[in-house]
Amino acid sequence: MTLFDLSGKTAVVTGGTRGIGLMMARGLLDAGARVYISSRKPAACAAAAAELAQYGTVAAIPADLSTEDECLRLAREVGEREQALNILVNNAGATWAAPLEEFPAAAWDKVVDLNLKAPFFLTRAFLPLLEAGGTHDDPARVINVGSIDGLHVPSLPTYSYSASKAGLHHLTRVLARDLGPRQITVNAVAPGPFESKMMAATLQEFGDEITRSTPLRRIGRPDDMAGVAVYLSSRAGAYVNGAVIPVDGGLATTL
């Protein structure tokens, strides 16, 4: 068994049909894991599963994770197929931008429900499977996908998004303390700019400026996100718990 080998492990990646979730799912498959992806739209699930099948064993279960009932259903359906879960990636998310004077209450509910409440409800729903998948030397892993906008003040008026991601970072630490004794680690990654549907408009308008302001002078690539997912999921990351890891080329951490 190599340091980054995930053979024999089972993972669930929410929001796994596009963007960062798709990047992570592919990385986990490449490392040998069996992966379940989930997102709200059945057609997107089917298309992503077909795309990912060339890299390993993948299945798709559509779910609208903005509600606790759907979080419970996803865990139940995975539990009908698996006796244990080794890796849970809480990636499904939403954003919203509007001027302060116009920012609607609905934007807070939509964004916080999916970005902050869903990771909590999903982790709780999957606890029996995660406990079955973790050992003292090789814990089960929960990976929450935050954002550098939860580490610094963003330039865009994404009030509920940045607040929800900062909250998710701290929830990660709280859960890491509570679940560590149960042989489950909880960590977060805080991505910077990556090619994704959520970032498409921002990159189109500000892409050159963002690239110039990043010490590495580029935006993130799929392998950058796949790599951190494999690291945190593998033996290499078995002693990492309660960490929030920026994956941003130094954009937020060197401002």
CA-based radius of gyration for the chain: 17
Rounded distance between C-alpha atoms, residue 147 and residue 166, angstroms: 8
Q: Is 151 helix (H, G, I), strand (E, B) or coil?
A: coil
- Pairwise CA distance, residues 244 & 144, whole Å: 9
For residue 74, the SS3 value is helix
> What is the token pair recorded at 224?
């950058």
Question: What is the C-alpha to C-alpha distance for residues 2 and 236, in angstroms, rounded to an integer?
Answer: 9
Catalytic residue from among 36, 55, 159, 161: 161
What b/e string do you get for 171-202 counting C-beta neighbours within 10 Å, with b at 16 or more? bbbebbeebeeebbbbbbbbbbbbebebbeeb
Phi, psi (5° rounding) for residue 219? -95, 170
Q: Which of 90, 100, 96 is nearest to 187 (CA)?
A: 90
Q: What are the angstrom distances between the C-alpha of 5 and each of 2, 9, 97, 113, 227?
A: 5, 9, 40, 34, 12
User: How much helix, strand and coil, in percent to the nearest 5, is found in the chain?
Assistant: 50, 15, 35
Is residue 159 annotated as a catalytic residue, yes or no?
no
List active site positions.
161
